[in-house]
A and B are shown apart, each in its own frame.
Chain A
């Protein structure tokens, strides 16, 4: 689309500048108030190190879980027309609009010790999810799932069926055709979905603290550590850890710069 030759109105420019400022000021605030002299000490302190390790472990686990649960769902939505398809897609997007703390409460009601499925997990397998790293991963998977389903569905839909059909006529089975033709072609979208989901799980707070609680070394992720540092009045540690998350988020943005939204 060629750019318009007419310049934008002043009003629009002013309002857009206000919008940009609204987004930029908080980030600038973080950079300005960062205790640069003690930042290294904060980042390398045992509690920060543990929180970073837990965050990495939990986010990666959450992404894997979301992929396992979300990819088959995305495939069904992309390739098959069935009754209630719109409802299923809406259900997959619920975590996107649900307030995270509400998500945490809902997870407790489903997978907590007294929960619908939780009590079965406890009685049959002796497994409890709250207060464990696995529980934190479940909370992360819950919020990351919509990202995976959305991008994967778009990715699968964009693959040219004729190429898959060609593979099938040449003797490839369903799985081989998927593995050798569909997957490589949908890969960019899938990778974008995985990275987005991972970043979302990394930043999750409300659902994690409600469902998985706060257990240093097990469920205390970086966002929880920031919250506790604030509660304790340690603004320096809070700001430093926030900066770490900011750097990671910017890195994700740069990584996905042309693949941000799936093209319809």
Chain B
């Protein structure tokens, strides 16, 4: 009786590791991507897994510089996608990634509460006294772009809080703590229910985010990572991205 229990435990122990790797000889592809790619990559990962049943895509979203630091610190990441080329260049210089390819672009938008209760028209209105404005912190790509937008609009805008990533900015507005947040156009979907997106106006012309994606040099699944990269360049992926509001490079 006790032998049977022991053997049963052993069997579980042997089987357990296999359960986390996408099946019998399955592969877990670890993809680290900028926070603004959350919806896009979640959808794309699901489609990729349908086409490649033996691959399990594990997604990790966060601020681009932090993701690069994780790779440099030795995290087992196979593919890295950042929200600007500068952050990717840092990874490239350290020899941590292969040649990157830009798969999508993004522009800025102003997130306001549904119905635009303050009647804002563009970035110039952000100067209104008493308005609570939030942007990303300047250390992350969306923060640099927001700062560029404010400069292009002539400055003089008091930013009340600088959040660590663009999803946190949208959350502040959705939660009612901020009146307007500088986010990406893809962060407010039509029919969102809590947020509306406003066009910042002519000051935003030329301010564009470009998303480079690259496989890591330390990846143990270079083949599958390559397949993921090919998939990102496919028409199906392009349709998903443009459907969510991204631009084509």
Q: Is A228 an interface residue (CB 8 A)?
A: yes
Partner of A228, one of B69, B161, B164: B164
Contact between A213 and B163 (Cβ–Cβ < 8 Å)? yes
Residues on B with C-beta less than 8 A from A49 are none
Contact between B65 and A214 (Cβ–Cβ < 8 Å)? no
Name the interface residues of B70-88: CB closer than 8 Å to any CB of A. 72
Give the Cβ gap from A35 to chain B, nearest Cβ, in Å: 15
Contact between B177 and A216 (Cβ–Cβ < 8 Å)? no
Contact between B69 and A233 (Cβ–Cβ < 8 Å)? yes
Q: Is B229 an interface residue (CB 8 A)?
A: no
Q: Is B55 an interface residue (CB 8 A)?
A: no
Count chain A residues whose beta carbon lies closer than 8 angstroms to a beta carbon of B.
Answer: 21
Q: Is A232 an interface residue (CB 8 A)?
A: yes
Could you say which of B132-140, B189-197, B213-221, B233-241 contacts chain A?
Answer: B132-140
Residues on B with C-beta less than 8 A from A235 are 69
A231 touching B65 in the complex, CB below 8 Å, given contacts A131-B160, A131-B161, A215-B161: yes
Contact between A231 and B139 (Cβ–Cβ < 8 Å)? yes
A235 to B159, CA, bound (A): 26
Residues on A with C-beta less than 8 A from B28 are none
Give the Cβ gap from A45 to chain B, nearest Cβ, in Å: 14
Give the Cβ gap from A70 to chain B, nearest Cβ, in Å: 27
Contact between B63 and A231 (Cβ–Cβ < 8 Å)? yes
Contact between B140 and A213 (Cβ–Cβ < 8 Å)? no
A9 to B162, CA, bound (A): 54
Give the Cβ gap from A186 to chain B, nearest Cβ, in Å: 40
Q: Size range of the interface on B?
A: 20 to 34
Contact between A113 and B176 (Cβ–Cβ < 8 Å)? yes
Q: Is A230 an interface residue (CB 8 A)?
A: yes
Closest to A119 in B: B176
Interface of A is mostly: loop
Contact between B137 and A214 (Cβ–Cβ < 8 Å)? yes
Contact between B162 and A131 (Cβ–Cβ < 8 Å)? no
Q: Is A108 an interface residue (CB 8 A)?
A: yes
Which one of B137, B163, B172, B177 has the greatest number of beta carbons of chain A within 10 Å? B177
Q: Is B157 an interface residue (CB 8 A)?
A: no
B130-149 vs A, Cβ < 8 Å mask (1 yes, 0 no)? 00101001011000000000
A233 to B94, CA, bound (A): 13
Q: Is A130 an interface residue (CB 8 A)?
A: yes
Residues on B with C-beta less than 8 A from A230 are 66, 69
Residues on B with C-beta less than 8 A from A113 are 132, 176-177
Partner of A215, one of B63, B140, B159: B159
Closest to A235 in B: B69
A214 to B136, CA, bound (A): 10
Contact between B160 and A228 (Cβ–Cβ < 8 Å)? no
In the assembled complex, 23 residue pairs joining A and B whose CB atoms fall closer than 8 Å, in A order, are: A108-B177, A112-B177, A114-B176, A130-B177, A131-B161, A213-B160, A213-B162, A213-B163, A214-B137, A214-B161, A214-B162, A214-B164, A215-B162, A219-B161, A227-B164, A230-B69, A231-B139, A232-B137, A233-B65, A233-B66, A233-B68, A233-B69, A233-B90
Binding site for A on B (CB under 8 A): 63, 65-66, 68-69, 72, 90, 132, 134, 137, 139-140, 159-164, 172, 175-177
- If A213-B177, A214-B163 are given as contacts, then 12 extra A-B residue pairs at C-beta distance below 8 Å, sorted by A number, are A113-B176, A114-B175, A131-B132, A131-B177, A214-B162, A214-B164, A219-B161, A231-B66, A231-B137, A232-B65, A232-B137, A233-B66
